[in-house]
Amino acid sequence: MTEEEGTRFLLTRIGMLTPDAPLTEVSTAQLALTATLVNELDGLPLALDQAGAYIEETRCGLPRYLDLYRTQRRTLLARRSKHPKTHPQPVAATWSLSFERVAQNNPAAAELLRFFASRCHSRRSV
């Protein structure tokens, strides 16, 4: 998505903007923050939707989410030593944030997700 499309999509996804409303209904600071997040997520619709779902569910807000995303992205990139530090991983980072939230709220559900993931991985290896 373009920056404007992604910004509109994300602001609509988190309920800060109605689908037909002009972007001018949101403060300049909020628009800049949203555009920053859209750019860091490379405008990928899935990553933007995951980010929006996380923000909506946790009510953490855009500034907190951006901070969490940047921290999580650095952690993921540190694990991928064969790729340069600038290699974008927006979908993995947004998914990882959601998984961490599940693990905090329901450790049994997180364990079940790990179990199924390991089963899927072991079947692919065969």
**pLDDT tens digit string along 15-45?**
999 999 999 999 999 999 999 999 999 999 9
Indicate yes or no: pTM above 0.75: no
Asked if pLDDT for residue 120 goes beyond 80, the answer is no
Tell me how many domains the chain contains: 1
pLDDT bucket at 7, cuts 50 / 70 / 90: very high
Which of residues 125 and 47 earns the better pLDDT score? 47
Smallest CA-to-CA distance from 48 within 81, 88, 1 is with 1
Structural domain of residue 67, as residue ranges?
3-125
The answer to whether 56 and 13 have CB atoms below 8 angstroms apart is yes
**Which range among 52-56, 57-61, 73-77 shows the weakest confidence by mean pLDDT?**
73-77
The answer to whether 55 and 25 have CB atoms below 8 angstroms apart is no
